[in-house]
Structure 1
Amino acid sequence: MEKNGNFLFILHSHIPYVLKHGEWPHGEYWLFEATAETYIPLLQMLERFKDKGIKPKITLGLTPVLIEQLKSDYFKEKFNKYLEFKIELLQKDKKEFERKNQNEYTMLALFWEKFYTDIQHLFNITYKKDIINRFKYFLDKGYIEILTSAATHGYLPLLGYDNNVRAQIKAGIDTYVKYFGKKPKGIWMPECAYRPKGLWKNPITKEVFIRKGVDEILVEEGIEYTFIDSPNLENASLFNQYGEKSLNPLGFEYKKTPYIPYKLASGLTLFVRDHITGYQVWSKHYGYPGDPFYLEFHKQKDTSGIKYWRITGANLDLAFKEIYSPDKAKERVNENAMHFAELITQILKKFKSETGLNGVLVAPFDAELFGHWWFEGPKWLEKVIENLKKIDGVEPATGIDILKNSPKTETITLKEGSWGENNDHSVWFNENTKWTWEKLYNTEKNFLAFLKKHKRKALLEKTLNKILKEAAKSLIIAEASDWQFLIHTQSGVDYVEERFNKHIGEVEKLISIAKNYLHQNTLSDEEKAFIEKVSRENIVFNNICLEWYLED
């Protein structure tokens, strides 16, 4: 069999910190839905691969804040209550459909009841309420590779100081080691966002100073590879039209090919996102998730929130959606998966015929697309991997596999950018989000100034250390890129603004308490109560180290 190249499939999993901060429609339900509809179905897929003796070599990004939430006892208790509630709603639906002699809907209610009871059994019995540990099993056995990320998915290029960038990365690595027992080799840079070394002007304060490149800090912390978007190599973006026209997958030309890895002078290896396969999934009109026979995400039964309808037509009013058929959807999964596997093969064959090289096709996606937004997604991915095993010439691989076997890579310089709209920072920094950066920069500055001024006491004095650790936890939560992204997309803006302001306020008040403690050497009952309240509500990153902020 002649090899044409490798297929590197990445699922980036992330939910911001939501535990103890709201339930529905904004808050904990984001995490519960993703766990039931994406993370456990992905584990089910891996179990089936294990039974078939197939190592799919999928790369899974798990953000540290997601890992910390999934490992918490609070999550485990609340997730079970969520599943019980969904099953109770389905049983009510079923009785209603039976009473109305709506047999097709009754069968679908039974389908969904089995779905949730299976998830319940897997979570409690098979995985013993610890799905991270099961992902660790598949990591250790070589079925998958797991990437780390910045602690709370902080938007690294725009954080105010290298100290904050390093703390985000160190917290991410520390979480990885804590739960997976070894250091990560690869990282998912939040939003694929990058900034090179050199002079940097703060976009709010206009201060100018020399910054390390994001890549330099990653390499200093032992990271070997990451991922970037193709337009950051000055290639055209296929997502400007976002699926408004059909695409000739073999007729696209590049200034710099995305089908080989590159290196930066720092030594960091870059894998480049392929837009052709991305377009095939994300395109509004031509992407697989828009298939008329797939489950309609946006239409739910008013009394239960359960989805019983199929897409039917992309521009069709929700009132005219037709009933969903799991069997028909399964047929479409098989067809779409074969098309995708053949597309990968065609692209890599063309690349080899033109260059003589075995290419690397990199296909990264948000994991929550698979199962949550696109219900059939995990089954589709399973079929893609199985089909690639049947087609000569393309081998699924992880970044580590490719680094071990890849020929010498070209060293390049990389411009500042992201995988967002316009491939710049404009999704996260714009007129609607500017106020968040004004507050964040001021709070980062205040926290670092106090910590550096009182470094010795902060590290050695028990009470002061606890106060500032709680402040650091609140700060990295406030640094999450999710707040700006959701403001930009106008999704749950009231919730997002309340959350951001809350965490910024926590940091500022904790700094004030720390100042009072230094002068008075004691805490008031009110101050003690506030510290404990913040500690109870922010139950992630309890291993945070103040030293991480003092290295730059």
Structure 2
Amino acid sequence: MVPGYLALVLHAHLPFVRHPESDYVLEEEWLFEAITETYVPLLQTFEGLKQDGIDFKLTMSMTPPLVSMLRDSFLQERYDHHLAKLEELAGKEIQNNSDNGHIQYLAQHYINRFARVRQTWEKYNRDLVNAFKRLQDRGNLEIITSAATHGYLPLMKMYPEAVRAQINIACDHYEENFGCKPRGIWLPECAYYDGLERFMADAGLRYFLMDGHGLLYASPRPRYGTYSPIYTETGVAAFGRDHESSQQVWSSQVGYPGDPVYREFYKDLGWEAEYEYIKPYILPNGQRKNTGIKYHKITSRSAGLGEKKLYDPYWAREKAAEHAGNFVFNRERQIEHLAGIMQRKPLVVSPYDAELFGHWWYEGPWFIDYLIRKSWYDQTTYEMVTLGGYLKKEPVQQVCKPSQSSWGYKGFHEYWINETNAWIYPHLHQATERMIELSSWDAKDEWEKRALNQAARELLLAQSSDWAFIMRTGTMVPYAVKRTRSHLRRFNKLYEDITLGKIDKSWLEKLEKIDNIFPNINYKTYSPIQEPMKLGRKP
């Protein structure tokens, strides 16, 4: 019997970006980069562990927008083209650097890497969702959901119908794609408010994740802090993020990804190659962009981009193994200490954005591979578990009321409502009120029903927390503003067409092809909540 548990949780999410109306949109490459650098490498890591007889356990969210994009044939075709261009560029780099052995070595590394990505992509017939589903069906992954479009739920609190829609539509979409109901949910931005658990309970969800202070400030104060989940009054469990293990990976000062040996993210061939040479691989308008081929290492935190030295994946992989060993060592000491003062087995919950591993931190999938292998072979202090698996092992927990919280700046809501993005909320609230109004309509024909369903899609897409987040970070702001405004404009035109009884059929058809998320949506999901919400089941 081990003294404790470790739960590694990855949150895989991207906003819904799909533009068949344009020949090229840069933001679609967010998905393509994540496929190449995160999702396929993680899948390869999991396959390798399984082949080697390691019965690993890991929890991973896959949000509805991400699942929808990964299964979209239009985006799959565009990714094929994107990957082919990468393969072509890497091949040219071998010839273009005949006088530089180290660059040739790195170019060959990318040729081999892209070939492996291609092999995995084609092995699963371009359906990565089904590939991850197989790992869940085998008992290694526990895939959980998130809100329908990653809407920031505390800022919808005044409209419970909107909160219910975000959760119920997500659960229905999950069942359509994974063949079962989700057991857990990653709340968007880990943002919680009092009463949110009632919607989760009514949707049949068993647990959710929140930041550590959401548990630490619960009422009554949890006896075991973040090292054991709590049950809410509805019976839904809340797991809190462990600060210590999170800091080791996330911290810009002491986190592993900042090691000098690792690959430098901000120095890319697309910005450094001779212009005429790189022109076929950058933006159609001739502007430079990242290609994903990067030849330099971090070197030091203080070094300018011009001072970076050449990268070596061999030594970077060795460092990832070293860091994985350090992570395991620290979890052993942490759990040994906690087990000595708790009257039960401690649980350390380590949640991260999936895109950290591979995209932002190139060596991240190697780190996860070594972490799981070392946990399996080299220690007996903790058992790696899924969150649902833990609740089966430890069904008795304290009942508390969690505290309002998020994992954003300062731990509450100001990252998503501030001087950069507060302007969006009056418009979102008006659209929400209109959608609740429309939910009481009985469609007089198929066209009106389609317009009502499309209105629900447009509202959901406008509610994505990603747009407010981008406005706050100050990167790609014009795109975030454009997306918010365009979805609101589309919603308002649909509302006017419906209420006037004049559906613009050709425009509606075009809209259905562009914003095609949630094909089975039912606008009645927004029907008014007439009675007090039921508390749900007891623990």
Q: TM-score, normalised by structure 1?
A: 0.89
Q: Could you tell me which residue of structure 2 aligns to residue 481 of structure 1?
A: 465
Which amino acid letter does the alignment assign opposite residue 277 of structure 1? S
Contact 2:50/2:56 (8 A) holds in 1: no
Deviation at 1:256, TM superposition (A): 5.7
Is the aligned partner of 1:528 residue 2:528?
Answer: no
Give the 3-state SS of the residue equivalent to 2:383 in structure 1.
strand
The within-5 A match list for 1:35-434 is 35-98=35-98, 101-124=99-122, 126-159=123-156, 160-196=158-194, 213-234=195-216, 257-301=225-269, 302=271, 303=273, 305=291, 306-389=293-376, 390-434=378-422
Alignment deviations for residues 113-134 of structure 1 (CA, whole Å, 9 cap, x no partner)? 111121112101x111111011
Give the 3-state SS of the residue equivalent to 1:411 in structure 2.
coil
Which amino acid letter does the alignment assign opposite residue 183 of structure 2? K
Deviation at 1:23, TM superposition (A): 8.3
Alignment deviations for residues 200-232 of structure 1 (CA, whole Å, 9 cap, x no partner)? xxxxxxxxxxxxx11100001100101111122
Contact 1:228/1:272 (8 A) holds in 2: yes
CA–CA separation in structure 1 for the residues paired with 2:520 and 2:32: 25
Is the aligned partner of 1:16 residue 2:15?
Answer: yes
Which amino acid letter does the alignment assign opposite residue 210 of structure 2? I
Give the 3-state SS of the residue equivalent to 2:209 in structure 1.
strand
Contact 1:228/1:418 (8 A) holds in 2: yes
- Range that drifts further, 298-307 or 338-347: 298-307
CA–CA separation in structure 1 for the residues paired with 2:490 and 2:387: 39
Q: Could you tell me which residue of structure 2 aligns to residue 498 of structure 1?
A: 482
- Range that drifts further, 406-415 or 345-354: 406-415
Alignment deviations for residues 331-352 of structure 1 (CA, whole Å, 9 cap, x no partner)? 1011100000111111111011
Contact 1:26/1:492 (8 A) holds in 2: no
Unaligned runs of 5+ in 2: 279-290, 530-539
Alignment deviations for residues 261-285 of structure 1 (CA, whole Å, 9 cap, x no partner)? 1111111101110000000001112
Deviation at 1:235, TM superposition (A): 6.5
Give the 3-state SS of the residue equivalent to 1:415 in structure 2.
coil
Is the aligned partner of 1:7 residue 2:3?
Answer: no
Alignment deviations for residues 279-328 of structure 1 (CA, whole Å, 9 cap, x no partner)? 00011121110111111111111245321111111121000101010111
- Range that drifts further, 13-22 or 32-41: 13-22
Deviation at 1:450, TM superposition (A): 3.0
CA–CA separation in structure 2 for the residues paired with 1:59 and 1:233: 20
Q: 1:350 to 1:24 in 2, by over 3 A?
A: farther
Deviation at 1:540, TM superposition (A): 1.2
Alignment deviations for residues 424-469 of structure 1 (CA, whole Å, 9 cap, x no partner)? 10000112111011111111112222332x2xx23x6311110011
CA–CA separation in structure 2 for the residues paired with 1:17 and 1:27: 10
Deviation at 1:16, TM superposition (A): 0.2
Deviation at 1:255, TM superposition (A): 8.6
Contact 1:235/1:255 (8 A) holds in 2: no
Deviation at 1:532, TM superposition (A): 1.4
Q: Could you tell me which residue of structure 1 aligns to residue 287 of structure 2?
A: none
CA–CA separation in structure 2 for the residues paired with 1:359 and 1:441: 42
Contact 2:461/2:487 (8 A) holds in 1: yes
Q: Could you tell me which residue of structure 1 aligns to residue 285 of structure 2?
A: none
CA–CA separation in structure 2 for the residues paired with 1:120 and 1:315: 37
CA–CA separation in structure 2 for the residues paired with 1:341 and 1:24: 44
Deviation at 1:417, TM superposition (A): 1.5
- Equivalenced residues, count: 504
Q: 1:344 to 1:510 in 2, by over 3 A?
A: same
Q: TM-score, normalised by structure 2?
A: 0.91
Contact 1:235/1:256 (8 A) holds in 2: no
Deviation at 1:94, TM superposition (A): 2.2
CA–CA separation in structure 2 for the residues paired with 1:344 and 1:410: 24
Give the 3-state SS of the residue equivalent to 2:516 in structure 1.
coil
- Percent same amino acid at aligned positions? 34
Which amino acid letter does the alignment assign opposite residue 20 of structure 1? H
Q: Could you tell me which residue of structure 1 aligns to residue 288 of structure 2?
A: none
CA–CA separation in structure 2 for the residues paired with 1:24 and 1:87: 19
Give the 3-state SS of the residue equivalent to 2:183 in structure 1.
coil
Cα RMSD for the two superposed structures: 1.7
